[in-house]
Structure 1
Amino acid sequence: MVDVSDIFLCTRCGYCCRGETTVSLDGADQVRMITSLDMRERDVREQYWRISGNSVQMKIVDGYCIFYDDGCSVHNGRPWRCAQWPLHPSILDDENNFLTISESCPGIKKEIGYERFCEVLSKIMQDSVVSC
């Protein structure tokens, strides 16, 4: 049996929460976040989200996602893409993707090598599809 911890252990460094933009929130992300925050949608929109056209993203404060505070302050309600990161399917397509992501994420267990990493990630992804 494989586990995410076989290939990744989050160090809570915040690198993935840093930047000029954050991930886009789909409808399910928005509902999950509103529920987790136990706030009215209007208040969450005003306080935490940046809306541009049809795109909804979390606001950025001092170069970080508004929810980053030595870890994710909305962890249980975080967007799907945040929950998935850094175990992105693109890693399986190209070793360069693995190298790029692992250079910026100290939690990825590079020492197991690309082939083994992909074996475990594939199994994790397969299991998560089956269990949905």
Structure 2
Amino acid sequence: MSESKIFDCRRCGYCCQGETTVSLDQADRERLSAHLGLPFAEVKERYLRVTGKTVQMKTVDGHCIFYENGCTIHEGKPWRCRQWPLHPSMLADSSNFEVIRDSCPGFKADLTHEEFRLAMGKG
């Protein structure tokens, strides 16, 4: 079973909502600036929230600032967004797998933890 058979992103925005967003590393900040075609200082001022050393995307009305009926920066999005929901913690912890699978409509509904592990090459 391949990754595409266990998960198909519906771009529903469920994972893009909340009071905070993912933290951006240096590569994320560079990719985002390049994708937007803006200098980092402008990206930071318009779109980012900096708390100490933590850099995150701002939220608007409970969603990531870049969510509007789908991710508006899909090609330039941070690595953590690219990875989600296929998070490594799901491999070792079946309870974590079930919580994430049940909260994300992109997962095959009857997918088992073992099928997930096999599809991810960890079975």
Q: Same fold (TM over 0.5)?
A: yes
**Counterpart residue identity of residue 23, structure 1:** V
The unaligned stretches of length 5 or more in structure 1 are 124-132
Identify which range, 112-121 or 62-71, moves more after superposition.
112-121
Mapped to 2, the partners of 1:110 and 1:89 lie a distance apart of 19
Residue 26 (structure 1) shift: 0.3
Residue 66 (structure 1) shift: 0.1
Residue 96 (structure 1) shift: 0.3
What does 1:80-95 correspond to in 2, within 5 Å? 80-95=79-94
1:108 lines up with 2:107 in the alignment: yes
Mapped to 2, the partners of 1:103 and 1:51 lie a distance apart of 32
Match of 2:15 in 1: 16
What is the TM-score when the length of structure 1 is the normalising length?
Answer: 0.88
Once the two structures are superposed, residues 99-130 of structure 1 have per-residue CA deviations (whole angstroms, 9 ceiling, x without a partner) of 1101210101132322111110236xxxxxxx
Mapped to 1, the partners of 2:121 and 2:49 lie a distance apart of 34
Identify which range, 48-57 or 105-114, moves more after superposition.
105-114
Secondary structure at the residue paired with 1:56? strand
Q: Give aligned pairs, total.
A: 122
Any runs of at least 4 consecutive aligned residues in structure 1 with deviations exceeding 3 A, and if so which? none
Identify which range, 50-59 or 3-12, moves more after superposition.
3-12
Match of 1:58 in 2: 57
**Counterpart residue identity of residue 63, structure 2:** Y
Mapped to 2, the partners of 1:68 and 1:82 lie a distance apart of 12
CA RMSD of aligned residues (A): 1.1
Mapped to 2, the partners of 1:75 and 1:39 lie a distance apart of 16
Percent of aligned pairs sharing the same letter:
54
Once the two structures are superposed, residues 53-110 of structure 1 have per-residue CA deviations (whole angstroms, 9 ceiling, x without a partner) of 1110000000000000111101111000000000001111111011110121010113
What is the TM-score when the length of structure 2 is the normalising length?
Answer: 0.94
The unaligned stretches of length 5 or more in structure 2 are none
Contact map agreement 2:102 2:109 (CA 8 A) in 1: no
Residue 4 (structure 1) shift: 2.4
Q: Which has the higher helix share?
A: 1
